[in-house]
Amino acid sequence: MDRFNVLFVDDETNILNSIKRITIQEDFKSLFAASGEKALEQFQENEIAVIVTDMRMPKMNGLELLEKVKEISPNTVRMVLSGYAQISQVIVTVNKVGVFKYITKPWNNEEEFLPAIHEALEYYKLVKENEIFKVQIEEKNKLYKKILDSNNNLVKNSQKDINYIKVVSKIIFDLKNNMYDNSKDECSRQKYINQLIDKVYFQYLETIPSISETFTLNSLQSKFDELKSRNLPIIYDNNNTAQINYLGNKRVFELIFNNVLEVITWDSKEDEILLNFTHKTTLNINFFIRNKNNFLKTISKTEAKLILNFLDNLGKMFGGKIIIVPDKFLININTGLKIAD
């Protein structure tokens, strides 16, 4: 993790030089400004964890500076280092801008100054962690609300579909809880992965009510023509495979197929992929990736693992499964679809 930034503001060069010497070995990054105006410029370029400012400075004094900092960067921990220590001014500063520490000049480096800086950084870190936790809770609450709303809209459907929704919802909860428990990603990264999972989940909800129907691969010809136009080869194990009548949930089949293909094409070009349809007792779809590095890159991604895991669990509900074969650079979809009677 990058070091936190601590900004020191004082119009006396000798004070800033002294602070520079005593903080050079510390585990935070020290930034310096000789005026309130210069200090505010630092906020345009950096995330400031802690600001330590003098009170008496020309043009913009310490109180005015801290008032502006509170407005533009409310999480920045505000501290004062000043030789001006009238109790009335201290009270005004604390009441107006919420000063974390007020240290008077001259100071003791080891017993007063540096410990105060580290306390402020710990406080800032705690605030940041609380914000991340808050975002995670909000994301979970949004998901709960979406699921509840979806379930309320679908109660008129059959008990079988309601049971399916319960199972899929539990899969989603488990995947997301596992992501929050183990992920060290930033909130923005977690939000992106959440959106990917939610997209597939709501695609599944659009397949409700479940319909078991007879169809052939020829019914997907427009999709296959599009893939061929993108130089993605499609091979059947024999000429009759495309004409076989399968019985099953066509919409779920298409959902799983399209999303596996989307995951694969994150890192691989279409002409690096070979799509193979085979039929023994059930329909199998094999995605071969000719570029080893791109294949390994894809299957190692957190979002790919989560989406493929979800699709695998969804497929199992309808008799299928997804298998990743790393040494063959292959992702196999066993659809579970059998020949219609």
| Phi, psi dihedral angles at 275 (to 5 degrees) | -105, 120
CATH number of 72's domain? 3.40.50.2300
CATH number of the domain within which 295 lies: 3.30.565.10
Same domain, yes or no, for 314 and 333?
Answer: yes
Within this chain, do residues 222 and 200 fall inside the same structural domain, yes or no?
A: no
> What does residue 282 show for φ and ψ, rounded to 5 degrees?
-140, 170
What is the number of domains present in the chain?
A: 3
Instruction: Give residue-wise pLDDT tens across range 239-256.
Output: 778 888 999 999 999 999
pLDDT in tens, 261-291: 999 989 888 888 999 999 888 999 999 998 9
The edge-to-edge listing of strands for the beta sheet with 273-279 is 234-236, 273-279, 283-289, 330-334, 321-325
Q: Identify whether residues 312 and 228 lie together within a single domain.
A: yes
The parent domain of residue 16 ranges over 5-107
pTM: predicted TM-score of the whole model, two decimal places: 0.53
Whether 200 and 232 share a structural domain: no
The amino acid at residue 26 is E
113 falls within a domain: no
For residues 69 and 154, membership in a common domain is answered with no
Q: Residue 234 in contact with residue 269, Cβ under 8 Å?
A: no
- 112 within some domain: no
The per-residue pLDDT for 128 is 83
Confidence check: pLDDT of 1 > 50: no
Same domain, 89 and 143: no
Is the model more confident about 283 or about 142? 283
